[in-house]
Chain A
Amino acid sequence: MSVQGLRVIKPGALSLIQDTGRWGFQHYGLSPGGAMDEHAARWANKLLANPPHAALLEITLGNVELEAEIACLIAITGARQPISLNNQPVRNWTSVQLHPGDRLKIGFANSGQRSYLAVAGGFQLAGNFGSVATVQREQIGAFSGQPISKADLLPCRPSCPERPVRSVPWRFIPDYDQPLTLRVIPGYQADQFNPQALKTFYASDYSLSSDSNRMGFRLSGETLDSGLSGLLSEGISYGAIQIPPDGQPIILLKDRQTLGGYPKLGTLLPLDAFRLSQCRPGTVLRFEMISLQAAQAVMRPFYNFFALSL
């Protein structure tokens, strides 16, 4: 039997196969990559009782059209956007049964940046080093590290018999247009920072710059002088907030380089970094501190919840 799945009619501006990342290879210089908003991505897999690491599609700003070649159960979460199945509206944050010949249309996102399309059993694609996460800069992951294009096949297993439709409860669906205060775990060089720079950072509004991508988000606002220079490169963790010589913070996200030598004042709570990944340029951001203990008490239940099957 030939490989079947979802056929790409319209690929959208940037649609990438992702999972929860490529771990254990950063000492070779490989970026972990992975879904930018793990909150929405993990929900998409959970709705289908997939393992958290199952391959799914990360769609940036919508405008995607797919045709089902087999019967399969999918789920879409994340950015708010019109979705239709054979021209009938379909809800976001819910599972949907597709039949052969069905056309799924995802319109332009009007709130949030990224949506996730998962399929029961996960997309059946080969990757590198245990992960399909697409890192374009490294040309690694599914589709040789490139976004999906027109006429590509996203292979999946047929899901029969049909399973009941499941939805994410309303209280877990974020409003991506709400103002945002991001929680920071102080760390790295925070103790050596010029205290005035830290004071300014936690007291000011920053705006998300359009010069932002999967590697890092740049902020613009009050200039910070860390008082530190000439540091050696060191390992960079997810959500690290670095202050380059121009004094405008950069938050390092999923496709970050593994090493960096700019002073860092701490890292974002991952849950808040996921939420930040949905923000559009111009979004106003504020920061507050969270203790490491409190941060671990937030993240552990999050990972445990998604590790369990529904």
Chain B
Amino acid sequence: MRYRVEVAGVDSLLLRFDLPAEQAAISVAACADQLKSRLGSSVIDLIPAYNSLLITYDLMQLDDPTIRQQIAAILDQYIPDTDQETGRRIKIPVCYEPEFAPDLAVISSQLSLPVADIIELHCTAEYEVQAVGFAPGFAYMGTLSERLLLPRKATPRVEVPAGSVAIAERQTAVYPQASPGGWWLIGRSPVTLFDAQSEPPGLLQVGDRVSFEPISAAELKRLQS
């Protein structure tokens, strides 16, 4: 793997991989796994996002020159397996019915696309989780069809309900908790994306492959209960 190393704090380095941001997730996640398993307890946190990876390490075990050498020894010869057949695949059920898709009608007229086509475009593609953040369990997934390209909303909603399935720019996401949000809401999922009582707490991780499966309002109700 080719990458650049930047300083990101007294105990942190940021690796920038020489990969297009939208196609980096699976490789970056694989590099993070390699580093985690080979460096063990001397690494405290690894945050992958697009084509970067933030590494925070234990200053009592390592110093800057040592961790740089160790990273080089692990990653310089490493070629991640990005085969379509490998990695985690996750299906997320979504109800696209109007009651749960408050922005679908507006988007339909803005994009001059029938609602059925928007749903079709959204749920036939496979997405990769490119970053997780903003809130616990919030996964930025791409790449959304160019035909659904919209900027974020000019005025964010004060409260987006938990489970809302949303799009903005070339990405899609599911809101894990009720929160303010500036993305366009096109459906609702019954899936729990984040649960502080379970281990692991989050359903989605960078590098996961995700697809959406349409369900009826009745199924949504059933799965929510």
* A126 CA to B136 CA, complexed, in Å: 20
**Distance in Å: Cβ of B25 to nearest Cβ of chain A:** 12
Q: Check: A292 CB closer than 8 A to any chain B CB.
A: yes
- Indicate the member of A28, A237, A303, A304 with the most B CB atoms within 10 Å: A28
**Distance in Å: Cβ of A128 to nearest Cβ of chain B:** 5
Chain B: residues with CB nearer than 8 A to chain A? 6-12, 14, 21, 32, 44-54, 56, 59-60, 63-64, 131-138, 140, 194, 196-197, 199-202, 205-206
* A298 CA to B135 CA, complexed, in Å: 33
* A186 and B7 in contact, given A28-B136, A259-B131 (Cβ under 8 angstroms): yes
Contacts of A164 in B (CB 8 A): none
Q: Which 5 A-B pairs have the closest CB atoms?
A: A235-B54, A259-B133, A235-B47, A187-B7, A237-B9
Q: Check: A171 CB closer than 8 A to any chain B CB.
A: no
Q: Are A235 and B49 in contact (CB under 8 A)?
A: yes
Name 12 extra pairs, CB < 8 A, besides A29-B138, A258-B47: A27-B206, A28-B202, A29-B134, A29-B202, A185-B7, A259-B47, A270-B10, A292-B10, A293-B64, A296-B64, A299-B11, A303-B60
Q: Are A299 and B14 in contact (CB under 8 A)?
A: no
* A29 CA to B197 CA, complexed, in Å: 15
Contacts of B136 in A (CB 8 A): 28-30, 138, 140
Contacts of B14 in A (CB 8 A): 187-188, 234-235
* A269 and B132 in contact, given A23-B45, A259-B47 (Cβ under 8 angstroms): no
Contacts of B205 in A (CB 8 A): 27-28
Q: A219-235 toward B: CB 8 Å interface, digit per residue (1/0)?
A: 00000000000001111
Contacts of A138 in B (CB 8 A): 135-136, 196
* A162 CA to B81 CA, complexed, in Å: 60
Mostly, the A contact residues are mixed
Q: Which of B7, B10, B48, B194 contacts A27 (CB 8 A)?
A: B48
* A235 CA to B97 CA, complexed, in Å: 36
* A233 and B49 in contact, given A28-B201, A29-B138, A185-B10 (Cβ under 8 angstroms): yes
Q: Check: A24 CB closer than 8 A to any chain B CB.
A: yes
* A267 CA to B59 CA, complexed, in Å: 16
- B32 and chain A: residue at smallest CB distance: A27
23 pairs of residues in contact across A and B, judged by CB atoms under 8 Å:
A30-B201, A32-B45, A128-B197, A138-B136, A185-B7, A187-B9, A187-B14, A233-B133, A234-B14, A235-B8, A235-B14, A235-B53, A237-B8, A237-B54, A258-B132, A259-B47, A267-B12, A269-B10, A270-B10, A293-B64, A296-B63, A300-B63, A303-B60
